[in-house]
Amino acid sequence: MMWRQTSPGHDRAGPEPESGRDGPATGPGFEPVLSDCEVHFLYWFIQGSIMNPETRSRLRRAWGLCERHALAHLAVEFAFRNGWVHGCALLYEDLMGRARQAFERRVPVGLWLALGLRQTAPCLMCELGFGPHSPTTAPVEVLARGRQTVGLQAFARSTEPCWRPAVCVRCAGRAVTAQSPRCRPHLLRDLLTRQPVDLGTQRELVVSIHGAVGRYSRSFRLEFQGTDTVEDRAGLVAAIGWCSGWSAWLRLVMGSKV
């Protein structure tokens, strides 16, 4: 399966992003369609512009990218690096560390926690105007390669038993209890609307994702190569789902089973 190319006048996108701000399933309505411009931007993004201090700071404030662009980032890095997704792993180790810190403050309750988990900047790519219909003049070979998701889908399937338990019940549309796992946007919403949430369980989830994605990130270093487990690799999926929401990911995985 590949990300399908956008065709002119083919209006299948969801609503425009609400500036990538917090809320369930933020960002453009996700479909397996990456526009030329999105592929081209992410191609340069993974070449090094992600390391720019200003960009890193922005990614921290926005908890990565919106749901659509977070998945697109992983997919494009997967396609161009043959699964060597070190950039993504480093980014999400950092973001989950930040989430863990928010839970470990002295008063990790209710509105104080919400304050630490809120998004204070919009998705960088949404703000730049990149969406399902943005054109570009990038070479066709680059665009074709950037849309390959075969490797990513194999990765999704092989790690599924380990990331499934972390899926947000609200993103999945399942019955919710105080202990059910939530993604950050849904946890934030539940805290702000004073829904019953067991913060101990949510904290355990965050700590476990941070540990797994941290081990995966470390495994890209020369001295630790080959030390990652399926659980560690699934940690990257869980981190992306936790930070931005799971809907786009679930659609990608379910699409692969059709």
3-class state of residue 100 by DSSP: helix
Binding residues with Zn ion: total (CB under 5 A): 13
Q: Which is nearer to Zn ion, 27 or 214 (CB)?
A: 27
Task: Report, in Å, the least distance between residue 219 CB and Zn ion.
Answer: 28
Q: Determine the Cα–Cα distance for residues 110 and 126; give it in Å rounded to an integer.
A: 29
Q: Determine the Cα–Cα distance for residues 147 and 155; give it in Å rounded to an integer.
A: 15
Dmax (CA) for the chain in angstroms is 53
Task: Report, in Å, the least distance between residue 24 CB and Zn ion.
Answer: 6
Q: Determine the Cα–Cα distance for residues 12 and 6; give it in Å rounded to an integer.
A: 9
Q: Which is nearer to Zn ion, 181 or 235 (CB)?
A: 181
122 binds Zn ion (CB under 5 A): no
Q: Which is nearer to Zn ion, 235 or 245 (CB)?
A: 245
Name the one range near Zn ion by CB under 5 A: 26-34, 36-44, 77-85, 213-221. 26-34
Q: Determine the Cα–Cα distance for residues 97 and 207; give it in Å rounded to an integer.
A: 8
Q: Which is nearer to Zn ion, 66 or 79 (CB)?
A: 66
Q: Work out which of 40, 170, 210, 215 binds Zn ion, going by CB under 5 A.
A: 170
Q: Which is nearer to Zn ion, 149 or 244 (CB)?
A: 244
Nearest in space to 92 (alpha carbons), one of 67, 60, 66: 60
Sequence-distant (≥ 6) Cβ neighbours of residue 75 within 8 angstroms: 3, 34, 149, 152
167 binds Zn ion (CB under 5 A): no
Name the one range near Zn ion by CB under 5 A: 49-57, 63-71, 85-93, 226-234. 63-71
188 binds Zn ion (CB under 5 A): no
Output the CA–CA distances (angstroms, integers) from residue 216 to 17, 233, 239, in the order listed. Answer: 31, 6, 11
Q: Contact residues for Zn ion (CB under 5 A)?
A: 20, 27, 66, 69, 123, 125-126, 168, 170-171, 183, 186, 245
